[in-house]
Chains A and B, each alone.
Chain A
Amino acid sequence: MADIIATNETILVVGGGISGMTAALEAAEFGKQVILVEKTPSVGGRVGKLYKYFPKMCHPTCGMEINQRRLKMNPNLRLLTMTEVSAVEGEEGNYSVTLKTAPRYVNESCTACGACGTAVEAEFDNEHNYNLNKRKGAYLPSAMAHPQRYVLDPAIIGTPDATKAKEACKFGAIDLDMQEQETTLTVGAIIWATGWQPYDAAKIQPYGYDRIQNVITSVEFERMADPHGPTGGKLLRPSDNAEAKNVAFIQCAGSRDRNHLKHCSRICCMASLKQTHYVEDAYGDDGKSTIYYIDIRAIDRIDDFHQKVKANPNVTFTKSKVARIDENKGNGNPILRGVDTEGYNRYDNEHDLVVLAIGMEPSVSDFPMKVVVNENGYIEQAESNGGIFAAGCSTDALDVNRAVQSATASALRAVQVVNRVAGSEG
């Protein structure tokens, strides 16, 4: 990586999801030198795994494509994929950052023709689909992947599959001798945008995610609705691949719960309201959704969306936090048990499929530098953080709209730091 030029007027952005891409693009388009590092082989992050956005119900691929185009065209921005930050030292205006880049085993000559993917045999869990299906040992992370380059799974290196992949490539793009690289750079400011991860649903013991097949999470349901997803866009339940026409959504699965995540994850109410549309789109009036909730937190203008879903006769709202889920051993249906708050009626409701509106937790708990972290694990904005600014879901549980606002704000803060270094501040 000797070709990377970085100075203390450079801004480092960590994380290539919607927030990191936005922050990097805003700063680069303002004229600053930016390095964007992403841990996985492609940018896109969690948003790249969504089927549709609320409240407009458009496809994230559209917005992502625009961002990817901006990224490709900007000479001020350098993208490093498969790269993580292992150490940060120094102070505002002068940080020394150590980056570790994992080998992709595929170089820039790759045309994404797919010959290597066809040649190899070993299969692995597909991270892009939350491990719901398999991908090959030589793979393109997703249809929208940027860079459009294949990756070899490190597990096939040294096996006959690796040789098969190399022999299949007509462009000499496969380089089995690639090694992990360590690079040390100087940068002036750092934007931390490592985002979020879904809370581990298996920890919510009474909901049986780890033992009842037809209990899934909202992020998995999102992949099922996507035509590029594991079921080709069909809403099929995992136990028997039957059509899931009677779907229950459980709100606050892991959020607003001192046994799990203390904070409200903010997106889950809207995510479930949005996903009731998927059920209706797939099955029309035969598709029934039930939302079990404590209270619906759809604020500001997005409450219009909530009101429209509420008026839909195919969607039922039950004001109750479900206490327990059991499985009907005969047909695999989850049985939801609890007591509702409007009338205190006890219920035992059977559904085809249960979707846990899973909470957001910060995806990094151990930061490689000193930052102020709040009780929920998110980075606080603090003077003592110096030239390190968090963006998007590193700051709080945010929806895409607010994450992008947060990213733009962090870009502006980082620009101020490198301007001070350059002495160009008034």
Chain B
Amino acid sequence: MATDAINYYRNNFLKEVEANVEEGHWVKMCMQCGVCAGSCPLGNAWEHTPQKIFMMIRAGKRDEVLASDAMWMCTSCYNCIARCPRELPITHIMHGLANYAHRLGLAPKNQPTRKFAILFWNNLTKKGRVNELKLGIALYFMNGLVNGIKVAIKAMPLGMSMMKTKRLSPMEILGGHGIKDTSGFHAILKKAREIEDAKMTKFD
């Protein structure tokens, strides 16, 4: 009975966030004043405000926090950091939580920001340079073929202007430009991932 109560209140999730989430050690400093929630320009579009996420972490609501779409909605405007009376790096914590949820495979599958982040990352890491053409096309067709065609037609003048000013090349479709040592770059990323994984503390 007593052990049950201890286990119930042990709250491994706060410790997990402190250990594994970037800037996660700040979460316990939140005094629940609510300025971040009220200052967020997208605040009313979120399921959970930062203030609420921090309280949920402290309450041990692991599944709800990691599956939340809230941290994916952050546009990095930094209003919350500028106004937080305790100077918590709220934007960074939200991104840290998003990354952590993604690595654990618990992030919401069809969240559009997350989908775009994956597209961007895969595009960038392939050759070490962003292939704007492929990224743009992938982005247009992210929500299906019909929608993609509509968006593409709408964005055509922008694409033409970019081509005229040599900011976009139709030749990129053939593979595109990249850095000199792509295999070296991939080795660096692999090593970085190994280091990151080794740093991760396991919580059961």
List residues of chain A with CB under 8 Å of any chain B CB.
206, 252, 256-259, 294, 320-324, 337-341, 344, 346
Contacts and interface: CB of A to CB of B under 8 A. Distances in A.
A259 B38 contact: no
B86 A258 contact: yes
B25 interface: no
B51 A341 contact: yes
A338 B37 contact: yes
Q: Which residue, A321, A337, A340, has most C-beta atoms of chain B within 10 A?
A: A321
B177 to A, nearest CB: 44
B138 to A, nearest CB: 35
Given A323-B34, A324-B39, A339 B49 contact: yes
Contacts of B39: 206, 323-324
B197 interface: no
Nearest to A340: B34
B52 interface: yes
B85 A256 contact: yes
A167 B73 CA distance: 74
B119 interface: no
Decide if the interface of chain B is mainly helix, strand, loop or mixed. Answer: helix
Contacts, number: 57
Interface string B30-69: 0111110111000110000101100000000000000000
Q: Which residue, B37, B43, B49, B51, has most C-beta atoms of chain A within 10 A?
A: B37
A252 B84 CA distance: 13
Given A339-B43, A339-B49, A346-B43, A321 B87 contact: no
B83 interface: yes
B161 to A, nearest CB: 38
16 contacts: A252-B33, A259-B83, A259-B85, A294-B31, A320-B33, A320-B38, A321-B85, A323-B34, A323-B39, A323-B83, A324-B38, A339-B37, A339-B51, A341-B32, A341-B33, A341-B34
A337 B37 CA distance: 10
Contacts of B35: 321, 323, 338
A374 to B, nearest CB: 19
A206 to B, nearest CB: 7
